[in-house]
Homo-oligomer: A and B are copies of this chain.
């Protein structure tokens, strides 16, 4: 879905309705930009405690905004919403293997599922634009996720490396980007690393998702902790079953990003 005929969703409720009707199955970043976009992860209830422990121990990668369940698919953050139908694409993972990618999770739903909603970096997209950061930086044309050499704090069976996203900034923009993003810890906060990718183990490595890392001339790479860290930990633990959003396909709720601004 793109171009001049693409449907428009300004409010979170409109975005959810569009997605629920099957009229939007792509990335959500352009929808309801003044609303909070969250990343859902649903696990069987016996995995809820390790998952929450892993998130609490790695809060920059996994900022927990809401926890639903067992079996709940509605939240008062999205009054008319249904988590199962209001995410453009869900992935179902079984024993570490992608078993299905679906636009409707209802046929896969189970009454014992606990769903964790994680904050995303969409939280500071608006504030970065307001701060005058160039669209080339903010709207990275090559979204990608990279595996670093940094460990996370383990929680029982859940462990693994930190994954990061990247933006490329002009040197004069770096400080502003750090200061603006730091105000939104619920959206991964300040970068975990600014500069030489090799120092966090990104030395010519292929991405986990998206485009290979190439730092454009005259720019500084800024790396943010990414919620993908949680999904990889769940896959590596070979969880019998879990569901998560396809990359970039968020659940949009009726909250303004400003609510999560800390200072």
Contacts and interface: CB of A to CB of B under 8 A. Distances in A.
Interface of A: 45, 48-49, 52-53, 56-57, 64-67, 69-70, 76, 114, 153, 179, 182-183, 185, 189, 262-263
19 contacts: A48-B49, A49-B49, A49-B67, A49-B70, A49-B114, A53-B67, A56-B64, A56-B65, A56-B66, A56-B67, A57-B66, A76-B153, A182-B262, A183-B263, A185-B185, A185-B262, A189-B262, A262-B263, A263-B263
Contacts of A57: 66
Given A183-B263, A263-B263, A49 B69 contact: yes
A262 to B, nearest CB: 5
B179 A263 contact: yes
Contacts of A67: 49, 52-53, 56
Contacts of A114: 49
A182 B49 contact: no
Contacts of A153: 76
A131 B256 CA distance: 32
4 interchain residue pairs of minimum CB distance? A263-B263, A53-B67, A182-B263, A262-B262
A60 to B, nearest CB: 11
